């Protein structure tokens, strides 16, 4: 299932405070870029994730954000460098933008 136009508009509205954003559709979802740097993914199920690298990985973990993982055929987990945006930021553009800005500072 692909993301809807409404889900895309909502994600872009949440992060509008970052400045001009670009997007690219991928695997039924959407990657979101600020000044050419990918910082977020909108999954095909409508969930938003932020990219974390360096110190931001520890910060997201300390804030108890859920990390994106998937199971391999052998049952082992593979962790991706993305964390799900918390529920509190799903409808709060100030919180979402602040988290995204902090994540971008570490990319």
**Contact of 68 with 79, CB cutoff 8 Å:** yes
pLDDT at 2: 86
**pLDDT at residue 1 tops 80:** no
* H runs (alpha helix) in the chain: 5-14, 55-62, 93-105
CATH number at residue 21: 3.30.1460.30
**Count of structural domains within the chain:** 1
pLDDT at 98: 97
Q: Which domain holds residue 69?
A: 5-99
pLDDT at 100: 97
pLDDT tens-digit readout, 46-86:
999 999 999 999 999 999 999 999 899 999 999 999 999 99
**pLDDT at residue 106 tops 90:** yes
């Amino acid at each position: 299932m692909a993301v809807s136009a409404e889900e895309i508009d909502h994600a872009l509205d949440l992060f509008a405070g970052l400045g001009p954003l670009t997007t690219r559709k991928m695997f039924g979802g959407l990657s979101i870029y600020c000044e050419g740097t990918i910082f977020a993914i909108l999954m095909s199920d409508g969930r938003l994730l932020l990219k974390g690298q360096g110190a931001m990985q520890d910060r997201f973990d300390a804030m108890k954000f859920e990390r994106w993982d998937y199971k391999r055929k052998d049952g082992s987990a593979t962790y991706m460098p993305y964390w799900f945006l918390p529920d509190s930021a799903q409808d709060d553009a100030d919180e979402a933008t602040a988290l995204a800005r902090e994540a971008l500072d570490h990319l």
